[in-house]
Amino acid sequence: HKRIIDIHNSNNKTVDSLSKLDIPAGVDIEIKL
């Protein structure tokens, strides 16, 4: 199983917040602008 977080309609603040998160191993974050 893959753990994927899809975020749509994100802005710079969203991207900045995600980059600072401590993501567990095996969790992928895909950002579509």
For residue 33, name the pLDDT band (cuts at 50, 70, 90).
low
Query: Can you tell me the mean pLDDT for 20-28?
Result: 77
Within 8 A by CB and 6+ apart from 23, the residues are 29
Query: Residue 5 and residue 3: Cα distance in Å, rounded?
Result: 7
The pTM assigned to this predicted structure is 0.38
Query: Residue 1: its pLDDT value, please?
Result: 56
Q: Domain extents for the chain?
A: 1-33
The end-to-end CA distance of the chain, in Å, is 25
For residue 1 the two structure tokens come to 């199983």
Query: Residue 7: its pLDDT value, please?
Result: 75
Query: Residue 32: its pLDDT value, please?
Result: 67
Query: Residue 23: its pLDDT value, please?
Result: 74
What is the SS3 assignment for the chain?
CCEEEEECCCCHHHHHHHHCCCCCCCEEEEECC
Query: Residue 22: its pLDDT value, please?
Result: 78
